[in-house]
Amino acid sequence: MKPFIILSHGLESGPDATKVSALAAIAKPLGFESVRPDYRDLDAPHDVDKIDARIARLKSHAPASGPVILAGSSMGAFSSALASLELNCVGLFLIALPVAIPGYARAFDAARVPTALIHGWDDEICPVDAALAFARTRGDSITLVRDDHRLGAHVDFIAEQFRLFLKQFGPEQFV
């Protein structure tokens, strides 16, 4: 049985956002089931107190048993990383990762599982140096591209990196 994938959108988007939709389109033909939770109602007030509810919603989509891969962009990456600590998470794919949210008290961390990060050199919201430091301390793979926070010029590239990332999660690992 392959891991179930939960794809989490960023704060200013929704479940049909360009990046998570591109990731879903890659996962399906590879035989992975995925879901894209809708967090827009929680995100609308831009209240850091809603982050825990966002994480709880993400976790509610995970199967009761069995492995999951968590992937997300920006706030979706932040939520995925924290949720990974509480689920049977076997992989993380984090895009435009913020490693801190002003006003959010919980310390940022993520499960020690295969993790790939993609970040823009010119990210004006989540400084690239923070993502580099996070990846460095864990020995995670990080790919940097010349783009801003939205990574709009690299959606196809991100999807291809996700395809390559998923190849390590063949069904033989999860029998």
Task: Work out how many domains the chain is built from and give that number.
Answer: 1
Phi, psi of 37 (to 5 degrees): -60, 150
Contact 77, 96 (CB under 8 A): yes
- Burial call 66-81: b when 16+ CB within 10 Å, e when fewer: ebbbbbbbbbbbbbbb
pTM of the predicted model, to two decimals? 0.96
- Dump pLDDT digits (tens) for 72-130: 999 999 999 999 999 999 999 999 999 999 999 999 999 999 999 999 999 999 999 99
Domain span including residue 40? 4-174
Question: Domain holding 150: CATH number?
Answer: 3.40.50.1820
Phi, psi of 27 (to 5 degrees): -65, -40
